[in-house]
């Protein structure tokens, strides 16, 4: 049976389905090595040169690499768009953010691009928050908690952590609904590996789809996976975080379609991250999730 390597970028709760799928294919006889990396760009480089068979994280670095000629295909979803904009209690509309401090990770972050897209769609003409580069999601959550900023985009775990303090916040927008065409975290693979080791690729992707289905059916299964594979990240908020992920239907590896992937590409073109002209046929291979679904 085939031997292959899967790159993992700073594993967290969104990664545990992949970790469980890796265990499944190992039990089937495949020799699978994992390597942990700090940046998606390192995984992209390894995928492009064939050192790694799969990796999963932000979609945009994979699309940029494909645009530059890398032999990479997007094959499955990691989680659906989990980002949402939260504001201080009392701020209930986009227009009320005009001139108010809005925390962002960086100007080039995908979450920032989604925020700007939403502001452009939702706010009245001329309305613009005062964007402040602060740092990671947990740092921005603390800045919101302390009143240093009036709004920011957060992931599920940070929202739960803030709510656990008793702080009142208002969710202005859920990007899973408002930007449903954008899939910011996906699984990608080396194209040659998909062609030459299609049986191994199918085994892994089928296992990944199955693990996602199990999570979607039972938040306790997600809790169990975190406690098994990432015990250091299991804290007092884990039960609530898992419930939020399941309630929001965020785990579905087979959620990608030609339509939403073209929507994702178009979003990144609009954000200035990609050039005009890229199409879904250039970047995805959905045959494996289709086969997994039967």
Per-residue pLDDT of 54-112, as tens digits, reads 999 899 999 999 999 999 999 999 999 999 999 998 899 999 999 999 999 998 889 99
Q: Answer for the pair 207, 24: CB distance below 8 angstroms, yes or no.
A: yes
Where are the domains positioned within the chain? Answer: 3-81+182-293, 84-178
pLDDT at position 294: 80
Element (H, E) at 145: helix 137-146
How far, in Å, CA of 22 to CA of 228, rounded? 13
Our CA dihedral for 224, 250, 238, 37, rounded to 10 degrees, sits at: 80
Reported CATH class of domain 3-81+182-293: alpha beta
Tokens of residue 38, six digits: 């700090």
pTM of the model: 0.94
Within this chain, domains 3-81+182-293 and 84-178 share the same CATH topology? yes
Which letter does DSSP use for residue 104 in this model? E
Question: Is residue 72 classed exposed, middle or buried when 0-12, 13-18 and 19+ CB atoms within 10 A define those classes?
Answer: buried
pLDDT at position 30: 97
pLDDT in tens, 171-187: 999 999 999 999 999 99
Element (H, E) at 152: strand 151-154
pLDDT at position 36: 95
Binned at pLDDT 50, 70 and 90, residue 156 comes out as: very high
CATH architecture assignment, domain 84-178: 3-Layer(aba) Sandwich (3.40)
The region that residue 90 occupies, defined by phi over 0 for left and psi between -120 and 50 for alpha, beta otherwise, is left
């Amino acid at each position: 049976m085939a031997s292959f390597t899967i790159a993992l970028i700073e594993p967290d709760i969104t990664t545990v389905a992949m970790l469980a799928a890796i265990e499944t294919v190992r039990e089937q006889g495949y020799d699978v090595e994992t390597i942990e990396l700090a940046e998606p760009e390192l995984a992209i480089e390894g995928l492009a040169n064939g050192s790694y068979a799969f990796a999963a994280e932000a979609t945009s670095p994979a699309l940029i690499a494909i645009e530059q000629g890398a032999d990479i295909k997007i094959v499955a979803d990691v989680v659906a768009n989990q980002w949402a904009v939260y504001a201080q209690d009392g701020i209930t509309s986009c227009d009320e953010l005009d001139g108010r401090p809005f925390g962002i990770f960086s100007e080039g972050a995908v979450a920032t691009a989604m925020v700007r897209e939403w502001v452009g769609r939702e706010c009245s003409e001329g309305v613009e928050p005062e964007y402040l580069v602060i740092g990671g999601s947990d740092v921005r959550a603390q800045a919101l908690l302390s009143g240093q900023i009036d709004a920011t985009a957060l992931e599920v775990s940070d929202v739960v952590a803030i709510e656990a303090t008793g702080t009142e916040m208002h969710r202005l927008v859920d990007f899973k609904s408002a930007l449903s065409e954008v899939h910011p975290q996906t699984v990608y693979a080396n194209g040659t590996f998909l062609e030459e080791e299609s049986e191994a690729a199918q085994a892994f992707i089928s296992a990944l789809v199955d693990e996602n289905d199990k999570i979607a059916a039972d938040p306790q299964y997600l809790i169990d996976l975190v406690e098994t594979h990432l015990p250091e990240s299991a804290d007092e908020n884990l039960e609530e975080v898992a419930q939020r992920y399941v309630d929001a239907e965020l785990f579905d590896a087979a959620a990608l379609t030609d339509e939403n992937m073209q929507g994702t590409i178009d979003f990144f073109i609009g954000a200035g991250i990609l050039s005009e002209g890229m199409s879904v046929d250039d970047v995805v291979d959905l045959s494996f999730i289709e086969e997994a679904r039967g």
